[in-house]
Structures are given as structure tokens and as C-alpha cells.
Amino acid sequence: MSDKLLKVKDLKIGATVYPPGEKPHDIEIVHGVSFEVEKGKVLGLIGESGAGKSTIGLSAMAYGRGGVKITGGEVWVNGRDILKSNLGDIRALRGGEVTYVSQSAAASFNPAKQIMDQVTEASILQGKFSKKEAEARAVELFRKLGLPDPENIGNRYPHQVSGGQLQRCMTALALCPEPDLVVFDEPTTALDVTTQIDVLMAIKEAIRDTGVAALYITHDLAVVAQVSDDILVLKMGDMVEYGSVDQIINNPQEEYTQALVSVRSINHEEKEPTSEPVLRVQNVTARYKGTNFDVLKNINVELHPGQTLAVVGESGSGKSTLARVITGLLPPSQGRIHFAGRDLSADLAGRSSEDLRELQMIYQMADTAMNPRQTVGTIIGRPLELYFGLKGEEKRKRIIELLDEIEMGVEFIDRYPAELSGGQKQRVCIARALAAKPKLIICDEVTSALDPLVADGILKLLLELQKIEDVAFLFITHDLATVKAIADSIAVMFQGEVVRYGGKTDVLSPPFDDYTDLLLSSVPEMKLGWLEEVIANRKMESAGN
């Protein structure tokens, strides 16, 4: 019927939902989506969580996760409607014509089997190659994807290679059977920025060299701009805008797309250090029990009242460990924590109730940081009872005040966490922290699990609250855009050390140390050709050295 490789027409997808207190019922989560992919082209599917991107991507393999069912429309692959195919034909399609790269390679590789067996499994099963041919091809792909020791890396088990390497192995797994189409589902989202850039380049080159077509699913428009030919913007299962990458990035028509392109509207001026710091971390060195390795090495940072210190670094840099030391969860082996004019006990057990009240925390996963069986009112009211002994009407009045501060109305007071959106949950956690009237709040990746637009709202709220309550934030994040948005001072951490520390403007201005330079230049920019530019620059630099 069609010369297109993939043609999706009026696709409708439903799912069974199990809302609390109601009967399970079916709802539609994708409402008639149409698009096409030509041979060798890359289509980016972009949207926030709940947009239906992964669901749509998996429909190209006639697959529905959990209770998800394709309820209508047509999906044509290589000229046949796979929604009308029988299970045997669909099996032959999966892993042969169409393959899949998931967000978390660490979870998607079987921990009990060697990488090579898993990479070649589909090719052999689908009869595309013999075992020997498939293995030779896998080694070739490992080499192409820039993996170290391509001849032997396949003999390792998944836990024996790094996250970035495993994500490349996953790409090799998808490319091994010479598919016509690969579905990339957020393949770099779980990686550190400095790792992401290499994987992104590897994927891009592999797509170019093999001439395979791809669906590239992500929530990060800057990333998709680097690899796609066309972009389809989705919102809540509806198509918002569909066009070439150039048009979407440089000339977005729809309001929603414009908001996505121009997200990060915050412009926060750095504040001067004023009086005595509220927090002073002095010469802190720490290690975990039973290890002989310092995860924090001689850390010295300060934070002034009503200001924000952003601690930025990649996974394993020790930034969350620093939070554990400050909160007393991990007593340091050396150094001390000076807080609000006094030395804090190294151990949590040695801290007074006043110490605990003045130092609050907000976590990355608002979901798991709240008791699902307590109402919003109970959750926010708890610190009011604990620290101030408020009861009854007085407590309720204060809860309503706090709800007002986080821009949520009194109607939320009796709701349960499950009835809130991700952003609302995080707001409730903020209100709970504020209820204690703290001097310092440690924010541990509080926006990392949120969609960009929602995260933006949370950051604005935090800045607003800082003005009102004069509270200091220790903001732990891996996201440099967030840092730029809200920090007054910045500490860049790398392998347990602070490699760069100072006011925001100083830290973000050249000359840079090597690591900060690498970190800053790795943040994807919403600009066509950015990826090639960075890679070319790095090659030049390394050739110069």
C-alpha cells in the first residue's frame, strides 16, 4: 500500500486504569495519532510524561505494556498492517525488522547472561544470521559504537560494564539483526551529561552508517534536535505539532511547542554574601562503613542565610553523600559542620529537636517521601504538631496558609498523595519542609523526576518562598540548567572533591578547569548541529594536546 517504511494512521491506544475507590475501567490514552517514517530517516517523538510517547513507539512493534491495548487505527510496517497480523508474524517482526532500545539498559539486560548472548539472540532466533556471523557482526558494532575491547566485551556480564557502555551495548543489540527500524526510548536519559554526549554521538553515527530508520523518543527537545530529521510533539496522547526538526526548533507554531523550546524562563540574579553564614562545612572527609575509600575528601563550603548553594556533579561525585553528612545520617571521619552559630553533633542521635527542625530536607522522589495512606493535611500538619505543638483549628489555619504558599488551595487538604500530580506532590513536600520554619532546606534533585515545564514551576516557587521565608537552600543536582536558574553560589563536585567553588558568575565564567569545562560543554543546547560542533571541538583539542 505504501512505500514508507512505517506509516501510522489514526492510532488509538487504550489502557485499563485502577483508580483508588473506583471500579477498574478502560480509558483512551492516545487519541488518533498519525505519522510516517521513511527509510533511513529519524523521527523524534517528544512530549512530557503521560504524553504517550513510549506507548506510541512500542505500537510499531504491536506491543502494549501492562494493560495497554491498541484499540484503533493502522500501523503499516514495510507495506503490511501489523495490527492485523497474527502473533507468529508479529514475533517475526519483533527483534528482526523492528528493534527496541530502552531507557535503562541496566534493567533491560538479563543479569544472569553474558552480553554477547543477549546481543546476538534476536538475530539467531529470527534466522537472520548464524551464531558465528551474528557474533562477528556484534563485535563490529561494538567497535563502531566506541566500546573498549570490542573483541572481548561481549564475554562480560552486564554488571561488569559501566552504564554508558551498557547503553551502547543495548544499541548494538538493537542494530545486530540489521533491522529496518529501531525504536529508541529515552536512550540517554538515565546517563550523566558527559556520558550522554558520547552515547548520543555513537547512536547518531550508527544510524548514519547502517542506514536504519528510527523513532527517537525523549522528553528533551535539545537532545532530539541533534539526531532527528522530523519531530512530532505530543501532549496527553494528542498530536500538537508535526514538522521538520528545523521548523520545530526555529519556528514553532503551537504555543505548547514554543513553551517547550523556551523552557527555563527563570533569570535569577546572584546575591552577595551578607552576614555570618548559616552553614559552614569544614574539612569534611567521610567514608561508608566497611569500605576503605573516602567518598568525600576535605570538603569546605559555606552557605549564607536566604541564599542558594548549588552542589553540582555527576553520579558518584559524592553530592548526595554530602547531604547525608550534613543531616547527620553519615558521621564524617574528619571535619565539622557549623550550623546557625553552633557546631552540630556529627551523629544524628546527638542532635537536638531544634537542630532537626531548623534543617529540613526535600527529596527527589516525592512519591516515596510521603505516606500514601495519609492526607495532605496530615502530612503537612505533622511537623506543626511535632515542633510547635499546634492542634485543631490553629493547626488547620497554618496548613491552609502553607497550602496557599505552595499555590495549592484548601481543597487539597483532604486528598491523598495518589490523587496528586508529580508537581503537586513535590509542592506538598516543600510545604512540609517549610512547616518546620527551617533555616536551611537541603533539596536533593527535587526537580529531576519532573517534566521541564513542571520543574520550572517548582523552581520559581522555591525562589519565591526563599524571599518570603528567608530560608537557605542547599541544592543538590546534576542539571546545570537548574543551577544556572537558581544558584547564588556553586560547588562543582568530582570524585568526592569540590573542584570549583564560588559565586555563580565566577564559577560559570572562563577560564574553566578541565572538568567544569567538560561538564558545561556537555549540556545539550537547543541548536541544530550542536552535537557535531562539540565533538569536533573536542577532537581538535585532543589533537592539539
Which residues contact another protein by CB under 8 A? 61, 63, 65, 90-96, 99-100, 102, 104, 107-113, 118, 121-122, 125-126, 156-157, 159-160, 173
Query: By C-beta, is 156 or 437 nearer to another protein?
Result: 156
Which residues face 310 on adjacent strands? 475, 490
Residue partners of 112: CB distance under 8 A and separation at least 6: 157
Question: Looking at beta carbons only, is 101 or 366 nearer to another protein?
Answer: 101
Q: Which is nearer to another protein, 300 or 315 (CB)?
A: 315
Sheet holding 440-444, edge to edge: 359-362, 440-444, 472-477, 308-312, 489-494, 497-503
How distant, in Å, are the alpha carbons of 157, 175, 346, 349 from that of 206? 23, 8, 51, 54
Cα 216 to Cα 230: distance, rounded to the nearest angstrom: 10
| Three-state DSSP class for residue 48 | coil
C-alpha cell at 262: 523556551
Write down the least CB distance from residue 157 to another protein, Å.
5
> Please, which residue, 53 or 94, has the CB nearer to another protein?
94
> Which is nearer to another protein, 120 or 426 (by Cβ)?
120
Q: Which is nearer to another protein, 178 or 205 (CB)?
A: 178
Smallest separation (angstroms) from another protein to the CB of 122: 4
Contact by Cβ (8 Å): 473, 503? no
CB of 306 to another protein, least distance (A): 44
Inter-residue contact 176 to 144 (CB < 8 Å): no
**Nearer to another protein by C-beta: 96 or 318?**
96
Residues in the chain: 545
Min CB(169)–another protein separation in Å:
12
Where are any strands of DSSP class E within 420-480? 440-444, 472-477
CA dihedral defined by 120, 122, 126, 132, rounded to 10 degrees? 10
CB of 74 to another protein, least distance (A): 21
Contacts of residue 477, defined as CB under 8 A and 6 or more positions apart, other chains included, come to: 310, 311, 312, 445, 447, 448, 483
**Both ends of the chain: CA-CA distance in Å?**
56
DSSP 58-72: HHTTT---TTEEEEE
Residue 109 phi, psi (nearest 5): -95, 140
In the complex, the smallest distance separating the C-beta of residue 160 from another protein, rounded to whole angstroms, is 6
Amino acid at 246: D
Minimum CB distance to another protein, residue 344 (Å) = 36
CB nearer to another protein: give 109 or 530: 109
φ, ψ of residue 201 in degrees (nearest 5): -65, -40
Which residue, 63 or 387, has its beta carbon nearer to another protein?
Answer: 63
Give whichever of 90 and 348 is closer to another protein, judged by the CB atom: 90
Q: How far is the CB of 156 from another protein (least distance, A)?
A: 7
What is the DSSP code (8-state) at residue 410?
A: G
In the complex with another protein, the residue whose CB is nearer, 161 or 402, is 161
**Cβ atoms 241, 209 nearer than 8 A:** no
Using an 8 Å Cβ cutoff, are 123 and 134 in contact? Answer: yes
Please count the other Cβ atoms lying within 10 Å of the Cβ belonging to residue 452: 18
In the complex, minimum distance from the CB of residue 73 to another protein, in angstroms, rounded to a whole number: 20
State the nearest-atom distance from the C-beta of 70 to another protein, in Å. 15
- Which cell numbers in the block locate residue 133? 556471523
Q: Tell the smallest beta-carbon distance from residue 94 to another protein (Å).
A: 4
Side chain identity, residue 55: T
- Distinct helix (H) and strand (E) counts, the chain: 20, 20
Return the number of the residue (176 or 197) whose C-beta is nearest another protein: 176
CB of 102 to another protein, least distance (A): 6
What single-letter DSSP state applies at residue 417?
Answer: G
> Other C-beta atoms within 10 Å of 119: how many?
28
